[in-house]
Chain A
């Protein structure tokens, strides 16, 4: 019911997209209440324009991960609408969900690599499991590896790589479907500061290629130094959405 209401008529309080010609991601009045009664998101409005680089910050439990899970339709909003490229994810059919996810590259703090597969195989895996013809897999993997600069390590197993290289492998895998959006959930959480910078630089380079990047992070140094758009979540609400540094509203 709330969904229907939200879909009809303009929402005067919804701010226009901050940048870009049209939003890649749009959340309109989104709330998420888990079955245990915990409200992870409350009436969130957010729009990300094409080609933006946006930090999503906030303390643990503020709703960052829930927001990312809503975008890949791992969860559905309790009320409100989540739109990817103008498409309401709640209305995507069961068969459409995999196709939606191929348009979004995801990167996690724990890399989520397969330990018994080489770097190349890990990246190729994303294409194999989506039924990509073999002749297209090789070149696509090489392209993704060259973006992250891992061609030399292509035959190594993840266990022989540094943390930064492992995360770059995960980023190559996220890129291999040539998505228009990359979502990174604490991608530098397990990395030391220097390596974290490398990863951020890599994400910025990918962003320069035209890919929209949404990065959830705790890393205040990075956020403050880059002066990009920062969306701050607290207790499920957006408390700040502006270009600037990392600080909590007290």
Chain B
């Protein structure tokens, strides 16, 4: 036991050293494997980011509002709710499918608009307006977001005061189905690329094993244990994965500046923590890279060195 513990650093140094030399000895194949690994990991990270963005956007929209009704302008009622609107509100509140109703006055709508402009760093142009063009509205939250028909019907029925009904929920459903397709397509694509990467790693390590067939034979004859024979190849696969992950992360870091400028407006209004997203991507890319490299090498060693 003690001898095994003392021997472990020696084993590790031996295996890592051999793996490192093996990687460069078969440099062309190793670099080809690393390049496909990079491609796959960049795809994976991009996919992850888009998913995270869309997911956050969806939940933001979903949580905010479910049904919105823009109200017709009632002259002289800039800031207050009109009697018919209040009645409509009461009818909605009585509907068991409705959780709550919020009245947004023209003033509040304008204030929200200004706040949004300020958030985006854009100039406030509302000062040039001679009157407030934004409608007052009713925002309806539902008990069950999927059951919006009754509230929408009530609002449509009151067309003397309701200008238009925006079914946010329907929009969300559309978005959900779009992201669903995107997710499935992305997963299939990633799976295909993942298999390709695995295949290339398996073959890279197979070539490494073949190139060292003489050494392996000698190792067996002089009594090297299986661990000394196998682990260098498994580490070599892990090296391919690690190199791929580091290069992919470097590329992502380089692209992060221009990309985030592009996506800033989009993501900033969404409840998405960029810090944790970054950490997730690093863990995902490193884990997937090293994991796939190790798995490929393991498969190769198992099939070409025997059990």
**Residue positions of A touching B, CB distance < 8 A:** 72, 94-95, 97-102, 106, 112, 114, 125-126, 128-131, 133-134, 173, 177
Contact = CB atoms under 8 A, between A and B. Distances in A.
B14 A130 contact: no
Contact of A173 (B10, B14, B222, B224): B222
Contacts of A134: 10
Q: Which 10 A-B pairs have the closest CB atoms?
A: A101-B223, A102-B223, A129-B224, A126-B222, A98-B223, A98-B225, A129-B219, A131-B7, A129-B228, A106-B221
20 contacts: A95-B226, A98-B223, A98-B225, A100-B223, A101-B221, A101-B222, A102-B222, A112-B217, A112-B218, A114-B214, A114-B215, A125-B218, A125-B222, A126-B223, A128-B14, A129-B14, A130-B223, A130-B225, A134-B10, A177-B223
Contacts of A95: 225-226
A114 B218 CA distance: 9
A50 B219 CA distance: 26
Given A114-B215, A128-B14, A72 B222 contact: no
Contacts of B218: 112, 114, 125-126
B228 A131 contact: yes
A18 B228 CA distance: 39
Contacts of A177: 222-223
B220 interface: yes
Interface string B221-240: 11111101100000000000
A133 B224 contact: no
B11 interface: yes
Interface of B: 7, 10-11, 14, 214-215, 217-226, 228-229
Contacts of A125: 218, 222
Nearest to B218: A112
A224 to B, nearest CB: 30
Which of B11, B222, B225, B226 neighbours the largest number of chain A CB atoms within 10 Å of its CB? B222
Nearest to B10: A131
B25 to A, nearest CB: 10
B155 to A, nearest CB: 75
A131 B223 contact: no
Given A98-B225, A130-B224, 15 more contacts: A94-B226, A95-B226, A98-B224, A99-B223, A101-B220, A101-B223, A112-B218, A112-B221, A114-B214, A114-B215, A125-B218, A126-B223, A129-B224, A129-B228, A177-B223
